[in-house]
Copies of this chain bind each other. A is one copy, B any other.
Amino acid sequence: MPYDPSAFPPFAVTVDLVVLTVRRHALCALAVRRGEPPFQGRWALPGGFVRADEDLSQAAARELEEETGLTAHDPAVPAQDNGAHLEQLATYGDPKRDPRMRVVSVAHLALAPDLPAPRAGGDASNARWAPVEELLQRGGYGRDGEPVAPLAFDHAQILADGVERARSKIEYSSLATAFCPPEFTVGELRRVYEAVWAVALDPRNFHRKVTGTPGFLVPTGGTTTRQGGRPAQLFRAGGATLLNPPMLRPEV
């Protein structure tokens, strides 16, 4: 049977990005302000159309670079010096999710260390890091009392799914190091877990756990005192990607 273009409806395919980082002890996501309808002026996740000759992961990496300057970290390369972790999250294709046309969005999740400032086409006022709690509360008020509109489209759902993925994945993988600079202390890594899970962890048990998990951390030999207090050993992420035994999120 020959190829029949009438056999299927045409779709637009986009990638949307949930870019997470830890700033000031809080899990934050990158949001951009929409400059055009629909949802003009509302905050949304960064994203864009997949080009005709692009793979989905390429499109996600390109959008990430355009919005943040970050280079996606190739999982095949163990030396993850700079560059963010990037993975596919899920795909959203409700027929009514975009009022203009049928759009299927392949959401991706990116985890990055704390960054200086976002950039959205050079206009800083149209991009910001916001605590995920603030972005997810619908119709509430932000930290400064300014009313907060819900995210555009179904982006609140996408963000919630991305946050949940990150929260569960740092349990059994070494992904929490993606939130840290290339060299970091056990305390900094602990503050990542505390921010992502929004819990308090015992510093002594945490230290025993992460230093005792083979392949998780490798000492670099240096020390730092940038947190105040006694100088702490510096570590890099080890080769292990799966933690065995896993980190355990405290009970509710």
Q: Which of B11, B53, B55, B92 contacts A11 (CB 8 A)?
A: B11
Q: Which of A71-79, A93-101, A210-218 contacts B (4 or more CB under 8 A)?
A: A93-101
Query: In chain A, residues 17-70, which have Cβ atoms closer than 8 Å to a Cβ of chain B?
Result: 36, 49-56
Interface of A is mostly: loop
Q: Which residues of B contact A91 (CB under 8 A)?
A: 56, 88, 91, 106
Check A95 against B55 for contact (C-beta < 8 Å): yes
Q: Which residues of B contact A92 (CB under 8 A)?
A: 56
| Residue with the highest number of chain B CB atoms closer than 10 Å, among A12, A14, A53, A100 | A12
Q: Which residues of B contact A106 (CB under 8 A)?
A: 91, 93, 104
Cα A53 to Cα B102 in complex, Å, equals 9
Q: Which of A2-10, A126-134, A174-182, A227-235 contacts B (4 or more CB under 8 A)?
A: A2-10
Do A51 and B1 form a contact, CB below 8 Å, given A91-B106, A106-B93?
Answer: no
Q: Which residues of B contact A90 (CB under 8 A)?
A: 88
Cβ proximity bits A147-185 to B, threshold 8 Å, 1 near / 0 not: 000000000000000000000000000000000000000
Task: Find the B residue at minimum CB distance from A55.
Answer: B94
Determine how close the nearest CB of chain B comes to the CB of A81; give it in whole angstroms: 27
In the assembled complex, A120 has its CB within 8 A of some CB on chain B: no
Q: Which of B1, B13, B49, B93 contacts A55 (CB 8 A)?
A: B93
Q: List 12 A-B contacts (CB under 8 A).
A: A3-B100, A9-B52, A11-B11, A11-B13, A13-B93, A52-B95, A54-B95, A55-B94, A55-B95, A56-B91, A56-B104, A91-B91
Extra 6 A-B pairs, beta carbons < 8 Å, given A9-B52, A56-B94: A9-B51, A11-B12, A52-B95, A54-B95, A88-B90, A88-B91
Chain A interface residues (CB < 8 Å from chain B): 1, 3, 7-14, 36, 49-56, 88, 90-95, 100-102, 104, 106
